[in-house]
A = this chain, B = another copy of it.
Amino acid sequence: MSKSSNESVSEQKKLDVTKWFESLRDQICISFETLENEHVGPFSEKPAGRFERTEWNRPDQAGDGGGGIISLMRGRVFEKVGVNISVVKGIFSDELKEKIKGANKNKYFWAAGISVVAHPLSPLVPAAHMNTRHIITSESWFGGGADLTPYYPDQFDTKSFHLALKNACDKYNEEYYPKFKKWCDDYFFLPHRNEPRGVGGIFYDELNTQNWDHDFAFTREVGKTFLKSYSLIVSERKNKPWTKEQRDYQLERRGRYVEFNLLHDRGTQFGLKTGGNLEAIFMSLPPTVSW
């Protein structure tokens, strides 16, 4: 066994996680391209969008730091949507060693994840974010979540999105949804404006029930539930015409999204501090914004 491996999780499990994130990425890209194909609403005279992939590598002091693949689409339904999958590994810096669970015992880490951020063109279609990950130090855990940011919140969308996530959670543990919903509300909050980023969803981290298969299954469930629920919302809302005033309001509210991601998001700060790939980090930023 190489000195950079983490013994807490088997190589087979790492492979299974990696394959799942690739598979989920493929399902998301196919679903979103289908929404582009089937679009008959505003701007349907433009060509349907297609995902384009860019690979990136991550330097690490231990040598091979892993990397990832960004799938990015700029279409007629999705003004910008990115799906990033990554498998990174290496040695934590001294600063991070103290902050990351289990990193003080074993400085080697392995992490894989998927991150999706969708910014639809229509101000009537909510923006959305989903991210799940598996991190291995001397300990191991899953984390992630999914949340919705509508600019014109629709009660039906908010309810159906939360209900889908609640049902997904309840299959695994009835305490998950209330706990993870609150975590999401607390996390996606702009203190300087005293307002939430959107209408929430779920957020969880350091999940390890001592049953790896159970935790991995829950993480797969979150990804599948997000894809199904969000695709339905996009499909229901995308054909409705909108006004210039609504579009202007969307561009202004997207400023809040940027403020959150650059001022407060721990993921962005973590990425920048660990020399993460800039294109992958800033993939989350909206395509057009106004202040």
List chain B residues, Cβ under 8 A from A192: 272, 278
Question: Is A205 an interface position by the 8 A CB rule?
Answer: no
Q: From residue A251, how far is it (CB to closest CB) to chain B in Å?
A: 8
In the complex, the chain B residue whose C-beta lies closest to that of A261 is: B262
Can you tell how many copies of this chain the complex includes? 2
- 9 pairs of residues in contact across A and B, judged by CB atoms under 8 Å: A192-B272, A258-B289, A259-B282, A262-B262, A263-B272, A282-B291, A285-B291, A287-B290, A288-B290
List chain B residues, Cβ under 8 A from A278: 192-193
Contact-size category for A: 10 to 19
Q: From residue A149, how far is it (CB to closest CB) to chain B in Å?
A: 16
Which chain A residues (122-156) contact chain B, with CB distance < 8 Å?
none
List chain B residues, Cβ under 8 A from A258: 258, 262, 289
When chains A and B are docked, how far (Å) is the Cα of A287 from the Cα of B289?
Answer: 8
Question: Is A113 an interface position by the 8 A CB rule?
Answer: no
When chains A and B are docked, how far (Å) is the Cα of A25 from the Cα of B47?
Answer: 49
In the complex, the chain B residue whose C-beta lies closest to that of A119 is: B291
List chain B residues, Cβ under 8 A from A290: 287-289
Question: Is A286 an interface position by the 8 A CB rule?
Answer: yes
When chains A and B are docked, how far (Å) is the Cα of A278 from the Cα of B256?
Answer: 12
